[in-house]
Structure 1
């Protein structure tokens, strides 16, 4: 049963890590679920409540930082809340219209459109768009690092 539990956990981890790059996949949640599946299949022999609470806090941190990073980038580069809202709408629309490429172009275009609707000059709107992209990129890197740390913690808890 341990081998099956480990295989399933690793599959959840792989899909979860893909979620770092594809926002339609709830990456951190899937990683946590992989750990929970492992725990359930092994009767929680090696993973305790404190481990799962700590991992749940890591999941919450991932989503908090993910949300804040794009907004921070837009604001850092002079964008208003219109840029932030535009980037959120742009992400959804971009994914629908462009698939995975929409992850990059959607927020960028959305923040620019948001700023233009806010009657900002094109150069300021473009600056907010670039800020949004930089924020999303840094958020993706941070999200990936936290998710890798979650997985390392899992294996450390099992084999330490």
Structure 2
């Protein structure tokens, strides 16, 4: 009975982590990895996943989490953005979160665009800067989704074996 409760807890971590890949306020990938780590400590599942797998996926989690935070800034700066554009993209993402999936997807672009215009950038250049923020955000999102998909795959594989 005790193992079942821990498995449910681990599953909830993985599920909340999956939601966190698109929700900017939740550390999605680390939560999902935490769910996999919990499985390693449950007596009935601990032999079904190796420490090597846990460590490799943990390193991947760290790398993807760092990249997710760096890519939007890098994309913005690469296309000529400044601090106001980066802040605009961040604020756009947070506001967009409350507007549903389309807000999450286009919020960083709109926020970066507004930040560019407010900092005195010309319209065309602000669009270019916002595109950099958008591409960086989408790249980070794809990396997170792929990583969480991999974590879910190992989670299910561990329970099925």
Does the alignment reach a TM-score above 0.5? yes
Cα separation, 1, equivalents of 2:18 and 2:158: 19
Unaligned runs of 5+ residues in structure 2 are none
Cα separation, 2, equivalents of 1:158 and 1:55: 17
Q: What does 1:82-101 correspond to in 2, within 5 Å?
A: 82-96=84-98, 98-101=99-102
> What do residues 97-145 of structure 1 show as CA deviations (whole Å, max 9, x unaligned)?
x244331232112211221222110111112112211221121111111
Instruction: Tell me the C-alpha RMSD between the 2 structures.
Output: 2.9
Unaligned runs of 5+ residues in structure 1 are none
Cα separation, 2, equivalents of 1:137 and 1:146: 14
> What do residues 55-76 of structure 1 show as CA deviations (whole Å, max 9, x unaligned)?
3322211211111121122223
Question: Which of residues 68, 92, 96 is equivalent to 2:70?
Answer: 68
Cα separation, 2, equivalents of 1:6 and 1:72: 39
Cα separation, 2, equivalents of 1:70 and 1:145: 18
* Mean Cα deviation higher: 35-44 or 76-85: 35-44
Cα separation, 2, equivalents of 1:113 and 1:10: 40
Describe the shift of the 1:79–1:9 C-alpha distance in structure 2 as closer, same or farther (beyond 3 A). same
SS in 2 for 1:126: helix
Equivalent position of 1:117 in the other structure:
118
Cα separation, 2, equivalents of 1:65 and 1:52: 20
Q: How many residues align?
A: 159
Tell me the TM-score normalised to structure 2 length. 0.77
Q: What does 1:78-157 correspond to in 2, within 5 Å?
A: 78-96=80-98, 98-153=99-154
Shift of 1:91: 1.6
Q: Is the 8 A contact 2:79 2:132 kept in 1?
A: yes
